[in-house]
Structure 1
Amino acid sequence: MDRFLCLTSLTTHCAVLLVRGAHGEPKQIPFGNATRTMVTAPALRRPQRMHMRDQANTGEGALAGYSFGTRTREWARITADELTLLGWEKQQAADMAKAALSRVGLAFGTTDTTRDLTKVLIFAPEDAGKNIAQTIDQHRSAMQEWLHTVLTAQEEHERQKKDNKGKSKTEAAADDKPRLPPLPARVKEAILTALAPADAIDIALFGRFLAEIAESPNVDGAVQTTAAITVGPAQHTDDFFSAADDAKILRRTCPRQATDAFDILTTANATPHREATENTSPTNGSGMTGYQALTSGTFCAVTVLDRVRLRSNLQAAGTAEHDAEIAAVAAEKALIDAFCTAVPTAKATTTAAPGVLPKFVLAFTANRPYNYLGCFEEAITEDGTPEPASIQATRRLLDHHTMISRKRGLQPGRVLTYDLAITTLLDNLRNSGTLTVTEVDTPEGLHPDHPAPTTRDLSEQPA
């Protein structure tokens, strides 16, 4: 088995804003002879991870039935909700959940809105909150007594802080933190087990770093993702928008009927002036106006999966070798499908790219990662050629892969397209005998273990 599965895609977007900078602008990066529009790696990884999880939760896809993780700051709230389902009083459940997680090393916010939220996102198995709550409930009497001691110590600490107002900083610092009792050993061990990666398939794929708890294992991700960039120069426009004020428009189109002589008199005197003002107003009927940036272009994205690390992550979490192999193959197929399907949601209703599919996907395996973004160092333009950027980029990508394959001894790989023009391009290359890759019609067909179709099989497959 080759260690690395290399995936490269070309996706064309029009009038979108998939990821923004701090001031709402499209992210850019200088590369080669032009500045490009960029979609960052985290903006690509999360929709892929969520696509896999959503598919599995609905019983679809290769990972149906597998466990996933949840990345959140709300583990204390989730645990408290589970405790209330077990019969705990709501406030006691909230205090218990926060105190228990604090004593294993998690730090919480200090403001009114964050005091029940951990300071960082914690990526843990989705059933961690339920398992923690069950552990606490199994030792209810001991944990309630422990919580009483913790709350008493915290109250005493607050009184000491008030008394320390007149002391020097050195004296006050000595009592800066309350002296809290440790968790019962069995409970702490169970909580650490609940927060461990376990069999969460997306943690094995994407990894996690949990510095707050030294005893909880970190996981080096098996998926390597680069930022996607446009194959041509950045193309941006500042789109002026106007949001209508429904009440204002309704008042103009359906004016209130006069009900008495005073209304008739004031309406008659005011109407000419009002009409003249509103008809010449630059914001006639609008509730707000502004600008939002939009961008277009063909983006090249690269993802590499370390297949060996994926299997070792699964086995390190306690999965038997045979089961880890089955799970790894399913995860590979699910990742390929997500790579071919998931798109950043951006502003889901205004600047997103719903339903967009990649125009071209290349998949191959090797014993080291390969990143082909460098072949677009010279930006592709459409000046002086009838071919759009996506077709030019496909030609260049195929030529680059053929050259690398020849010089590095790689397997040709497989390609998938959802574009009619690229389908014609592949047909022409195949007829001329210069197409070295195998074309498939489904994301599943890109997996190296999937039977490769013959030309006849491919033509008979549904589009």
Structure 2
Amino acid sequence: MTLYLDLSVLQSVPAANLNRDDLGSPKQVRYGNAPRIRVSSQSWKRAIRLGVEQDLGEKAARSRLVPAKVQQALERAGWPAELAAFAGAQVAASAGKKGIGTEDAGHTSVLLFLPEAAIDELATVCTEHRQALEGAAGKKKPGQVLPPPTIEAILKRRTASISLLGRMLAELPDANVDGAAQVAHAFTTHAAEPQRDYFTAVDDWLGEAETGSGHLDTAEFSAGVFYRYATVNVADLTKNLEGDLKAARTVLASFAEHFLLSLPQAKKNSTAPHTVPDLAYLAVREHRPLSLAAAFETPVTADQKGGFSQPSRHALNAYAHNLNRLTGDRNRRFHGHTVIDPQEK
């Protein structure tokens, strides 16, 4: 039997730009023949991951700078800079059968996702094989100096967040992890489009005879009520954590908390959009997860007082009721909700 934890959230966000496209505009999607503001799942997952790692005290890093970080660790241990740089490059070159490609300045050609503690472990391997590294440092084609199985084993290590959210690395297929969590793109429950903000900055040292601003520009932002959804396959999470049920419960609780309370940090200093959900709904289901996103295929319209939050909550409640009437509750083990308006409890 497979259990899924479904989380649905409605959250009102004021003027902000939580997630930008390549032109700096808030991301969008067209749904139900209406434009909506969208926040990508990747953006929100990063905020969730950082919170989970803070809770559990085991940080991971996604970076192309692993060789450079190993080099820095070795230099702190007294290695000559040139030899340390070669050793860092060998970490990538010795990963797997063909190695991982590197570019200038200690960058790998792809992002690696690994526990932060792995850097010290890799530096230790380099120290254990320092003599071999010194002998190969001057060669044009040194090959794989460090033991590939050892390097690969370190790069394959997982943290709870990697077990939860997954990892993809084409160069090391055995390091891939199918994430237990699925996070949907958030979108506004109603039609919404970006708005433009014209702003200026004062030059404090202009002369008395000088007028005008020191800088002027435009920026885009948006506002709205977002529907957010995520689901976690509890069996997959437990499997990724090597069958540790206690750890799975801890990770699941941390994920739920940070899914509810985290927020992408883009443009936070100029918008401070630090709201919490208006409504949160949780369900534990067997066999398959169920999103409530279709509640908003028809865009919500503002009520007489002009807001979208209350009609969004009503639309979600009506859809959940109809969905339960259609599918029944035989596969639902538990469900519950909380809402910010005490009159709606």
Query: Structure 2-normalised TM-score?
Result: 0.92
- Taking the aligned partners of 1:144 and 1:100, their CA distance within structure 2 comes to 14
Q: Which moved more, 1:357-366 or 1:387-396?
A: 387-396
Q: Which residue of the other structure, out of 124, 145, 156, is the alignment partner of 1:196?
A: 156
Secondary structure at the counterpart of residue 115 of structure 1? helix
Residue pair 1:69, 1:201 contacting (<8 A) in 2 also: no
Matched AA of 2:3: R
Give the number of the structure with larger relative contact order, counting CA–CA contacts within 8 Å between residues 6 or more apart. 2
Matched AA of 2:265: T
- Taking the aligned partners of 1:346 and 1:6, their CA distance within structure 2 comes to 26
Between structure 1 and structure 2, the one with the greater Rg is 1
Secondary structure at the counterpart of residue 229 of structure 2? strand
- Taking the aligned partners of 1:81 and 1:362, their CA distance within structure 2 comes to 46
- Taking the aligned partners of 2:149 and 2:77, their CA distance within structure 1 comes to 21
Secondary structure at the counterpart of residue 87 of structure 1? coil
Q: 1:387 to 1:240 in 2, by over 3 A?
A: closer
RMSD: 1.8
**Equivalent residue, structure 2, for 1:414:** 336
- Taking the aligned partners of 2:310 and 2:47, their CA distance within structure 1 comes to 26
Residue pair 2:16, 2:267 contacting (<8 A) in 1 also: no
**Equivalent residue, structure 1, for 2:106:** 116
Identity within the alignment, %: 26
Q: 1:130 deviation in Å?
A: 0.5
Q: 1:290 to 1:296 in 2, by over 3 A?
A: same
Residue pair 1:16, 1:351 contacting (<8 A) in 2 also: yes
Secondary structure at the counterpart of residue 135 of structure 1? helix
Residue pair 2:92, 2:108 contacting (<8 A) in 1 also: no
- Taking the aligned partners of 1:188 and 1:30, their CA distance within structure 2 comes to 48
**Paired residue total:** 338
Unaligned runs of 5+ in 2: none
Matched AA of 1:70: A
Residue pair 2:300, 2:315 contacting (<8 A) in 1 also: no
Secondary structure at the counterpart of residue 78 of structure 1? helix
- Taking the aligned partners of 2:94 and 2:2, their CA distance within structure 1 comes to 44
- Taking the aligned partners of 2:313 and 2:15, their CA distance within structure 1 comes to 22
Residue pair 2:281, 2:335 contacting (<8 A) in 1 also: yes
- Normalized per residue, the structure richer in strand is 2
1:382-425 Cα shifts (integer Å, max 9, x gaps): 15x337311111122122223323433134512133x3xx2211
Q: Which residue of the other structure, out of 231, 251, 255, is the alignment partner of 1:331?
A: 251
Moved over 4 A (4+): none
- Normalized per residue, the structure richer in helix is 1
**Equivalent residue, structure 2, for 1:101:** 92
Q: 1:20 deviation in Å?
A: 1.1
Q: 1:78 to 1:325 in 2, by over 3 A?
A: same
Secondary structure at the counterpart of residue 175 of structure 2? coil
- Taking the aligned partners of 2:308 and 2:2, their CA distance within structure 1 comes to 32
Unaligned runs of 5+ in 1: 57-62, 154-178, 253-273, 316-320, 427-463
Q: Which residue of the other structure, out of 149, 152, 164, is the alignment partner of 2:139?
A: 152
Q: 1:239 to 1:125 in 2, by over 3 A?
A: same
Residue pair 2:88, 2:106 contacting (<8 A) in 1 also: no
The reply on whether 1:206 has 2:206 as its aligned counterpart is: no
1:197-220 Cα shifts (integer Å, max 9, x gaps): 33x100000000111224x42101
Residue pair 1:82, 1:130 contacting (<8 A) in 2 also: yes
- Taking the aligned partners of 2:128 and 2:2, their CA distance within structure 1 comes to 47
Matched AA of 2:305: P
